[in-house]
Structures are given as structure tokens and as C-alpha cells.
Structure 1
Amino acid sequence: MTTNITGKDLIDLGFEQGRELGAALERVRVLGLEGQALADWVNANKPAPKLKPQVAPEIQFNLEAETEAEEENVAKVRETMDVLMRTPTLRAGAVMPDACPAGPVGTIPVGGVVAAQNAIHPGMHSADICCSVMVTEFEDAQPKDILDAVHKVTHFGPGGRPNGMRYTMSPELYDAFRENSFLNDKKILQAALEHLGTQGDGNHFAYAGTSSANGTTCLVTHHGSRGPGASLYKLGMRAAEAWRKKLSTGVLKQNAWIPADTDEGEAYWQALQLIRKWTKGNHNCLHQAAAQVAGKDVRERFWNEHNFVFRKGDMFYHAKGATPVDTEMLPDTNGTQIVPLNMAEPVLLIRGAVTDRNLGFAPHGAGRNFSRSAHKRALGERSEAEIFAAETQGIDARFYSGNIDTSELPSAYKPAATVRAQMAKFGLADVVDEIVPYGSIMAGDWERDAPWRKKAAAKRAARQTGGPGDG
């Protein structure tokens, strides 16, 4: 039996427009439903109302402006957090002293923490999943020897390691990748093998210094999950976008989410945990290799992530560049966390307790008041060599590519003293030790010598001279 029920009839009874409407209309016509029977069927089978932007919950701002540049930065952070917190899954938010914008308005800023109920937001951990820091303390070593050793064994810049120069990925972890629906991807599996033992570029580093408390030499590395994490992020954003369209209206695309209690949500959560293991192993293989090259014994090693998602019941804490101090989130340390500032400042070792202000987090570093390009413009007409000499006096600062990157020199970051003072003022964490710098290694401006750039330069030169170029 069929009826002449229309889509409008179903909408009038409370069935929203969308993909499900056509299938529902076909079903009620086949069933021949009318009157109260139709109303009862619609009430039992209509999709849940789509979620809409909410009234933003309160945000804890652990950030103050002391200069004009900082006032502009704070205003931008507040603006983006006010829009971000309208995402209907979010229940709490906090901003750390190192906060700075990281995209269009409504995007979680660096130094931002949000708690989402039953939801994982890939855009809120970003492409650099599990960006993290590891410290190894040595029994008897000199900082220069350790920095030289890690320089020999590490790799900065794009891509991975060629055959014959790779570290070995755990077969058990590789099999676990293959069993996960997100990670069983040819590109991810290949990158997991090739990128192990690499540190990428940007603000990632290898750093050697001396513990103020113990007088011992320490190695510190900073990097994330490289190609595997970046590819997982893309797949996660694709899945989240499908859920955003199905579950919500008016929510920004960058704030899409995967419901944690779905099969897809559980698979993505497990993928994050496997990427976490891979990233810790990525740090560990470099530290082990450096210790072996230097011929030194290890006293202690610990690690923590600051770009990740942390779970407590059905609440998922998304930290975009914020260091957890909540012991429930710290399975890999003795409660001591690592906060680097810049290459000329000590790496801080901190401990903290959960408060209403910090949501269980502290700063992850120094942050920026200006973009990289704006900072470079502000440096004026001085040469790179002059700027480098002035800002790295007294430390052994190295760029792996051989090209200075002025956007990673100390002046590119917020003043370390300001971040430390605000961390103390707002009760975010206590400093328990400092690793005083001897020196560090960063990628540097590797793009200056990138093959694509050289090829483009050759073509430009050829056009100017009328030659054939390097085609």
C-alpha cells in the first residue's frame, strides 16, 4: 500500500531536510502510513536535531599584555577563542601565557586548551600531532660532546631517511598500524618507516645543556609525528567533516569533530595512541643513538607531548601547544614536564596541579607576538650574519641546512621572562629545574636550497638571458 505523503508533510511533522528525508519518504509510502500512525513513525525515526553554535562557556585567560604588540596579540587570541568556544561540543577552555593565533578566527590558538564532551576534533590537535619533548640526563658527559653526537645521528628538513640510513620501527607497532582503519594507509605506512629518526623543520630542535639542580649534561629534542601524523590529520579532518555535515549546522569547518562513541571515533582514538607510541619512539631512537655515539651512560629519560588529545571519562582535552601537568595525563614521566623557551634560554622542568584556571595544563614554550614574516621584516637592514651573531652570543647555535633562519632566533619569540612570570602569577606550574643552554641544532632555512627553488631560479635566469634553461 502506498500513500501520497510528501516531503513537506514529513517536515511539518518535525523531520528535518537532509539526506535522510528521501529514504524516510519512500519508507512511509511503502508502509502506507497516515494520520497518527505517520506522526508516531516520524517521531520515532526522525534524526536528532542538528547541533548549532552554543553560547560560549567561560574561558580562563592566563595571558596578559605588557606591550603594544602583546595587546594586539591578546586581542586576536581572545577574538578567536570567543568564536571557537561556540562549538557545541566544548565545555571549558583556557589560554596559556604563550598563546598566539594559529589560523582564521575561530581556530584554536597555539597555547589553547579546550575540553570537548564525547568528541575528538582533529583540527584542535592540528597536523603536528603529538609534538613533544624528550630529555635524557647523562651520568658523565660534556654538552659539546652530546650536541656533536646528536648532530651526527639526527636529520632535519623535509622527507625521510634513505635506505641504509633508517632506524628500525618496531614490528609490533607496524602491525598495529596495519590493523587500524585510519593508519592502514600506504602513504602512512611508508612514512612510518622512512621518517623515524627525523625532526622536520620550523621550531623543532636538538638542544644540549646543563641541569642547574644536578650539574649534569642533558639532551633535549623537540618534534612531532612527522609524515604519519600529518597524513592521519588529513584523514581525521575528512571523517570529521562528514560528521559535521550530518550532526551540525553553522559550525566552522576547522572545528568539525568525530563522535568518540562511534566505531570511527574509537578507531581514530586508537590511531592517536599509536601515533603517540611512534612519536615517542622517534625521540627515543635519536637519544639512544646519540648516547651510543658519545659513549655515555644514561641516568634518566622522560618525555611529554604538548600537541595532543587527552581523555578523562567522556571529556577529551585538546591541547594545541599546551603542556599537561595533570598526573592522570602523564603515563610517561614522574610528573616532571618539559617547557622549552628559545635557544638562548634554559629549558624549564616544571610540576603543577590541576586548578580551575589551568584545566590541568601549563605553557608549552614561549609563543610569538608576530608571524615569522612580520618578525623578519622588523629586523631591518642588518645582515643575517650580524643578527645571528648578536642573538646567539655565548651559545653553540647550529642550523642543519647551513642556512640561518632568523624566524627561529630568540627575538622571534615572546620574552621568556614574561612567560615565566605569568606562569607563576596564574599558578599554572612551578619550575623545579632548568637546563641551561650550551647549544642547539635546528633545521634552518632549508627551502633556500630546495631543488624546486633552484630549478625555478634557473628558469628565471634562462628567460632573462634567452637560454633554454634547466628543463
Structure 2
Amino acid sequence: MTVTGKDLIELGFEEGPELGRAIETVNALGLEGQALTTWVVANKPAPRIKLQENPGYRFNLEAETEDEVDNVAKVRATMDVLMRTPTLVDGAVMPDACPAGPEGTIPVGGVAVARNAIHPGMHSADICCSVMVTEFADAEPQDILNAIHEATHFGPGGRPNGMRFTMSPELYDAFRANAFLNDNKILQAAQEHLGTQGDGNHFAYVGRSEASGATCLVTHHGSRGPGAGLYKLGMRCAEGYRTKLSEGVKKQNAWIPADTADGEAYWEALQLIRKWTKSNHNALHQRAAMIAGADVRERFWNEHNFVFRKGDLFYHAKGATPIDPEMLPDTSGTQIIPMNMAEPVLLVRGAVHDGNLGFAPHGAGRNMSRSAHKRALEGRSDQSVFDEETEGLDVRFYSGNVDVSELPTAYKSASAVQAQMKQFDLADTVDRILPYGSIMAGDWERDAPWKKRAAAKRAARARREARS
């Protein structure tokens, strides 16, 4: 007899890629009757893991304006879908939360706790996005801002030859020894992107400590090309497990089982990316200190886009600042929460409790997308908006072009976020760094080569049409 897929399914074999191979095998072996049943029992794949009932999560967010009502509804809707992912056992939402993709994607300001699983999509492509503070013993804010402007690099890509920072040989060798990071593109980016900050909401900020009056430098950026490369490979690996192990799980929520060889290698890769990112911050701070001739009094750092581990539980933070000492292997416990370029950077400490799962907000967050904010400003020039929102501050855009989507009104109310931090007992502010000035990438795409070529083509077409 010829065994069909229907025969195997009736014996308990699930539909899927393994079914075709099973049909070929049993027919090649000529199995039937009890021998066929015995083979199916021994060789059928484990049942696929299906979506679970939402186990619940902590919601530390309230709407105070009309825009926030819509934002809160979208955050709750995406968390409700996200938490049905079968690996998740708990979650939390911070006051700076906003959606970050299709429904079911972990929001910015979200925490998702998984058992024995690492979800690359839940730490996002900007792995280890983080903030570093250096407090100087005796320096003027203007001198430090000028120094970091000279030291740093914003925009796409890395530094050209002759202007690169040196990556630690030990860290480079560790990259090469890791199954995920031993990738030519990642290794090249690890060297070229050291000493760069990228674009978007990344910044260099200078101000004075409210408590001591000391000048402070704050930088914000992630793991750049190396992290983006690891994310891509991690998502590819997780997708293989998702299609093999689960049913109904959204692609962005695929996971790598932590107790597999892939899981162990990916966890180690995350730790190496963490080291690279911290060294990137440190290199910029050291270079700025040398340029300014300033003495460093204190320096500390924390990430807010990462995965933190407690036993077999993996805490995925997408824009949430850890305050749990178990998640802070190399800090004093003081954490950094920036708001916007016109507001103080908060230095906080907090206690772990059921409501926060060991986390606080990572910033001010947004109530609307960048494009929606730009549409709301139609009829006003970028320069007029910039002048109004940065009055009294030394705010610079590295590209020379204002990016209105990074100006203060693009973000949630800093005072409202801080009020909700207090309301939900997420963290206490121990100091504030009052703003003097800052640097961001700005709208570098405005002068991007492809945009210039497109503009030239449009102009040429218009001239031809005018002559015809």
C-alpha cells in the first residue's frame, strides 16, 4: 500500500514541512499496520505551541490629554496581543510608552518577561541603546559642548579611514569566537562605527548638575551597525524556531530557546554587544575630556533597550530603564533618564516591586509619530519652530539641517511622565542635569546623495517640459 499524508495525519502526525519527508520515509520502508503506527508515535514532531491566554501585565500609564487617550488605547491593544505569546509570563508598561510597530509588537516603554526564551524582536534592532553621564571636576558647559562636537560623529555609516577609534583586540577576538558575531559585515562595522552615534533621537547633551553645579556630558546611542547585524541574524534564527515550534505566533515575536546552542551563543553575543556599546560611549567621553582638557570626577552608564536575565526568566526591555540591582552589574545604582533637549536629564534610583518589575521609564516618549508631528507643524518654517523651542539653549544639528521631529514638542510632557513615575512609584529623582545645549544628527537625509540626484532629475524634467 502507499501511505498518504491523510493516513499519517489520522495517526497523529501534524501538517507541516516534516509531513512530506515522513511520507517519503514510511513508503521507502514499506511500513503499514502496527509498524506504521509505531513509527509515527516515535517520529512525529512535538505538538506546536499555540497562543496562550493573556497572563496579565502592569500598566503604569494614564492619559491626560486627548492625544494621549489614543496613544494609551493603542499601547494597551498591542500589549494585549503581545502577551498571548506563549513564552511570556509577565509584562509591564511605563509612562513613556507608545506603539512601535504592527499590533502585537512590544511598545516603546514596554517590558516583556519570557521563560527560557530570548526574543530578538523585543529588544529591537537598536540593541543596548543606552545613556552615559560624565561629571567633570572643573569645566564650563560651552567647552564640553564644543569638545564633544569635535569628538563625535552623527549620521549614517561609520568613520572614514584615518579618523577611526581603535577597538579593543580582546573584544574583537571575542566577536570572532562567537557564532553570531563572527560575520564579516558585523566585524567591519564594529571597527568603523566605534566613535559614532547614528541618527534619530540619539544625542550628546551638556548641562549642569542641579545638586553640585558641576558640568555634565550625557550621550545617548545604541550598538550601531554591530547591533543591527546581530538583530538581523537573531531574527533569522528565531524565525526558524517559530515556524518549527509554534502556531499563531507573530513573526516579530519569534524566539530562540535559551537552553539550545543557538540560545547560549545569542546570549553571549548580547553581552559582547553590550561591552562594545559601553566602550563606544566611553571612547567619546574620553575624547571630549582630552579635547577640553577637563578632569573627570565620575562616570556611569545604563542601557534601556536590552535583555536582562534572572535564572530562566529573560526580561526584555524596549525603552525601559532597569532599577533592579540584579540587572546592574557595573553601575552604582543611579540611573539616567533623559526627557528632551530643553528639559533636565533625570538621575534616579528606585526600589523593585510588583508594579514595576524592576524598571522605570527611559525618557519622555511620544504621543504621535514623527510624520504626524511634522504634519501638525505645516505652515511654519523649520527655523521658526527651532528658534521658539530652543530659545536660550545652544542646540546644534550635526548635519546642519533642523529636524523638527526631535524638538521638545515632538515628545510627551516631561512633567507628566515624571508625575506618573511618582504616582506609580517607579523611581525617585536624586539629581537633575539642567540643560545648556545639545547635538543631534538632524535631517541628514535632506542632503543625501539619492535625494540630490532625484531633485536634479525633477529639475531637468521641468526644464524639458518648459521648452516643449
User: What is the TM-score when the length of structure 2 is the normalising length?
Assistant: 0.96
Deviations 1:367-424 (A, max 9, x none): 0001111111212422222211111112111111111111111010000000000011
Give the aligned partner of residue 355 of structure 2.
357
**Residue 399 of structure 1 corresponds to which residue in structure 2?**
397
Measure how far apart 1:40 and its partner are: 4.0
Deviation at 1:361, TM superposition (A): 0.6
2:231 counterpart letter in structure 1 = Y
> Which amino acid in the other structure matches residue 70 of structure 1?
E
* 1:195 equivalent in alignment to 2:181: no
Residue 50 of structure 2 aligns to a residue in which SS? coil
Give the alignment of 1:2-151 within 5 angstroms: 4-28=2-26, 34-151=32-149
Distance between the aligned counterparts of 2:39 and 2:282, measured in 1?
58
Q: How does 1:303-322 map to 2 (within 5 A)?
A: 303-322=301-320
Pair 1:152-2:143 in alignment: no
> Per-residue displacement from partner, 1:36-73 (whole Å, max 9, x unpaired)?
55434433332111011111111211000011100000
The structure 2 residue matched to 1:240, chosen from 233, 238, 248, is: 238
Q: Which moved more, 1:169-178 or 1:13-22?
A: 13-22
Equivalent positions of 1:292-307 (< 5 A) are: 292-307=290-305
The one-letter code of the counterpart of 1:261 is D
Amino acid at match of 1:100: C
**What residue ranges of structure 2 are gaps of 5+ in the alignment?**
none
Structure 1 window deviating more from structure 2 (454-463 vs 335-344): it is: 454-463
- The Cα offsets for residues 215-249 of structure 1, whole Å up to 9 and x where unpaired, read as 21111000001111111111111111111110111
Task: Tell me how far apart the structure 2 counterparts of residues 35 and 423 of structure 1 sit (CA, whole Å).
Answer: 66
CA distance in 2, matches of 1:59, 1:68: 24
Aligned to 1:458, the other structure's residue is in SS state helix
CA distance in structure 1 between the aligned counterparts of 2:17 and 2:373, rounded to whole angstroms: 48
Segments of 5+ residues of structure 1 without an aligned counterpart are none
Shift, 1:349, TM fit: 0.7
The aligned counterpart of 1:161 is 159
- Return the offset for 1:97: 0.2
> Shift in Å at residue 195 of structure 1?
0.5
Distance 2:383 2:462 in 1: 30
Paired with 1:240 and 1:275, the residues of 2 have a C-alpha distance of: 18
Query: Please, what TM-score do these two structures have when normalized by structure 1?
Result: 0.96
Q: Deviations over 1:286-312 (max 9, x none)?
A: 000001111111111111100011111
RMSD over aligned Cα atoms = 1.5
- Alpha-carbon distance between aligned partners in 2 of 1:321 and 1:89, rounded to the nearest angstrom: 20
The letter for the 2-side match of 1:140 is: D
Partner of 2:209: 211
The alignment partner of 2:415 has SS state of helix
Give the corresponding residue for 1:450.
Answer: 448
Q: What letter matches 2:418 in structure 1? A: R
What's 1:344 paired with? 342
Distance 2:367 2:20 in 1: 51
> Structure 2 CA distance, aligned partners of 1:351 and 1:406?
32
- Tell me the secondary structure at the aligned position of residue 466 of structure 1: helix
Matched to 1:52, the amino acid is K
**Separation in 2, partners of 1:251, 1:317:** 19
Decide which moves more: 180-189 or 338-347: 180-189
Letter in 2 for 1:122: P
- Report Cα offsets for 1:338-360 as digits up to 9, x if no partner: 00000011100111122111111
SS in 1 for 2:299: strand
2:152 & 2:416 partners in 1: Cα distance?
32
Aligned residues: 465
How big is each residue's C-alpha offset from its partner over 1:166-221, in whole Å with a ceiling of 9 and x where there is no partner? 00001111111111121111111111111000000110000111111222111100
1:379 paired residue among 377, 380, 385: 377
Fraction of identical pairs, as percent: 77
Q: Is the deviation greater in 379-388 or in 338-347? A: 379-388
Do residues 173 (structure 1) and 175 (structure 2) align? Answer: no
Distance across 1 between alignment mates of 2:297 and 2:152: 21
Which residue number corresponds to residue 288 of structure 2? 290
Matched letter for residue 433 of structure 2: I
1:428 to 416, 426, 429: 426
